Chain A
Amino acid sequence: MRIRSRDLAFRLTTGAFALALASLVLAIGYELARQSGLSLQKFGLQFWRTSTWDPVAGEFGALPFIWGTLYSSVLALLIAAPVSLGIAVFVSELCPQRLRTPLVFLTELLAAIPSIVYGLWGIFVLVPAVRALETAMPAWLRVLPIFSGPPLGVGMLAAAVILAVMVIPFTSAIAREVLKTVPLAQREAAYALGATPFEAIRAALFYARTGIIGAVMLGFGRALGETMAVTMVIGNNPQVSASLFAPQYTMAAVLANEFTEAADELYLSALVEIGLVLFIITLIVNALSRLLIWSMASRTPGRVAA
Chain B
Amino acid sequence: MTRDARRKLLSRLFVGACALAVLLALIPLAFVLFFVVSQGIQALSVTFFTHMPVPVGETGGGMLNSIVGTLILTGLAAAMAIPIGVISGIYMSEYPGTRFTSAVRFAADTLNGVPSIVIGVFAYGVAVLPFKQFSALAGGLALGIMMIPIIARTTEELLLLVPGAMREGALALGATRARAVFTVIVPSALPGIITGVVLALARVAGETAPLLFTSFNNRFFTSHLTQPISSITVQVFTYAISPYEDWHRQAWAGALVLVTFVLVCSLLARFATARVARLRGQ
Contact = CB atoms under 8 A, between A and B. Distances in A.
B42 interface: no
Contact of B25 (A13, A24, A116, A168): A168
A117 B206 contact: yes
Contact of B110 (A11, A25, A260): A25
A125 B35 CA distance: 8
A290 B252 CA distance: 37
Contacts of A10: 176-178, 181
Given A18-B87, A227-B116, A121 B122 contact: no
Interface string B122-150: 10111001000000000000000100110
A226 B35 contact: no
A91 B23 CA distance: 12
Interface in B63-101: 83-85, 87-88, 90-92, 94-95, 100-101
A153 interface: no
A282 B114 contact: yes
Given A28-B118, A31-B125, A197 B11 contact: yes
Contacts of B203: 112
Contacts of B263: 109, 112
A197 B236 CA distance: 47
A165 B233 CA distance: 20
B208 interface: yes
Interface in A110-151: 110, 112-121, 123-125
Contacts of A118: 32
A169 B118 contact: no
A169 B24 CA distance: 12
Interface string A1-17: 00100110111011101
A86 interface: yes
A206 interface: no
B77 to A, nearest CB: 14
Nearest to B176: A6
Contacts of B24: 83, 86
A196 B122 contact: no
A225 B25 contact: no
Interface string A270-306: 0110010011001101110010000000000000000
Nearest to A254: B117
A84 B25 CA distance: 8
A263 interface: no
Contacts of A272: 121, 125
A193 B263 CA distance: 45
Contact of A255 (B88, B121, B206, B216): B121
Nearest to B267: A105
A108 B262 CA distance: 11
B251 interface: yes
Contact of A18 (B15, B104, B117): B104
Contacts of B54: none
Q: Chain A contact residues (Cβ within 8 angstroms of B): what range?
A: 35 or more
Find the residue from A28, A221, A252 having the highest chain B CB count within 10 A: A28
Interface in A12-35: 13-15, 17-22, 24-25, 27-28, 31-32, 34-35
Given A115-B209, A197-B14, A259-B213, A90 B111 contact: no
Nearest to B26: A106
Contact of A25 (B10, B21, B107): B107
B35 A21 contact: no
Interface string B240-259: 11000000100110010011
A188 interface: no
Interface in A237-275: 252, 255-256, 259-260, 271-272, 275
> Most A CB atoms within 10 A — which of B29, B126, B252?
B29
Contacts of B265: 112
A32 B125 contact: yes
A82 B241 contact: no
Given A31-B125, A290-B106, A15 B119 contact: no
Q: Select the residue from B13, B20, B35, B174 with max chain A CB neighbours within 10 A.
A: B35
A38 B39 CA distance: 47
Interface in B8-67: 8, 10-11, 13-15, 17-22, 24-26, 28-29, 31-32, 35-36, 39
Given A198-B15, A199-B7, A227-B115, 12 more contacts: A18-B88, A20-B84, A21-B148, A32-B118, A87-B18, A114-B207, A115-B208, A116-B206, A198-B7, A198-B10, A225-B115, A225-B116
26 contacts: A3-B176, A10-B177, A15-B100, A24-B145, A83-B25, A86-B20, A87-B21, A90-B21, A109-B263, A110-B29, A112-B266, A116-B237, A117-B259, A120-B251, A120-B255, A168-B25, A169-B25, A196-B10, A198-B13, A218-B113, A226-B115, A232-B237, A256-B212, A260-B216, A278-B117, A279-B114
For the complex of A and B, list the 9 residue pairs with the smallest distance between their C-beta atoms, beginning with the closest: A225-B115, A86-B21, A114-B206, A196-B11, A198-B11, A286-B113, A17-B87, A90-B18, A14-B91
